[in-house]
Amino acid sequence: GGPEGFANAVRKFPYTLLGDTTWRDAHQSLLATRMRTVDMASIAPATSRAFSGLYAIECWGGATFDVCMRFLREDPWQRLHHLRNLVPNIPFQMLLRGANAVGYTSYPDNLVYEFCKHARQGGVD
């Protein structure tokens, strides 16, 4: 278990593992992270079918957390939960900026660990 067990399991895979960052990075790079949850939800079923063999979808973290609240007036936790329900078959990963987590300042380790625990409970694998 834990990080070491996960790393060992990945190394044992007999083929290349592919991950997709479109749900986080594409609209962060192209649209100032302004893709609404309803827009992501509309493509979720097709993503779930077409990419069922993916190692993971990076769909959360980075600027998506802040922008979801500040500019889109949406709940990032609700977004995560909703997308997780629509795509149950592909692991979700998030971009975590070390001690900055998903913010723009350094946070204490215990806060970052607690945040990660809640992210896991919300649907991040």
Chain segment 62-118, per-residue pLDDT in tens = 888 888 999 999 999 999 999 999 999 999 999 998 888 888 899 999 999 999 999
pTM score, whole prediction? 0.85
Q: What CATH code is carried by the domain that includes residue 52?
A: 3.20.20.70
pLDDT at 115: 92
CA distances from 18 to 43, 51, 52, 55 (A): 19, 10, 11, 5
Cα 33 off chain centre by: 13
- Domain tally, the chain: 1
Categorize the per-residue pLDDT at 3 as very low, low, confident or very high, splitting at 50, 70 and 90. confident
1 in a domain, yes or no?
Answer: no
The boundaries of the domain holding residue 95 are 17-122
- Judge whether 5 lies within some domain: no
23: pLDDT strictly greater than 80: yes
| Residue 7 forms part of a structural domain | no
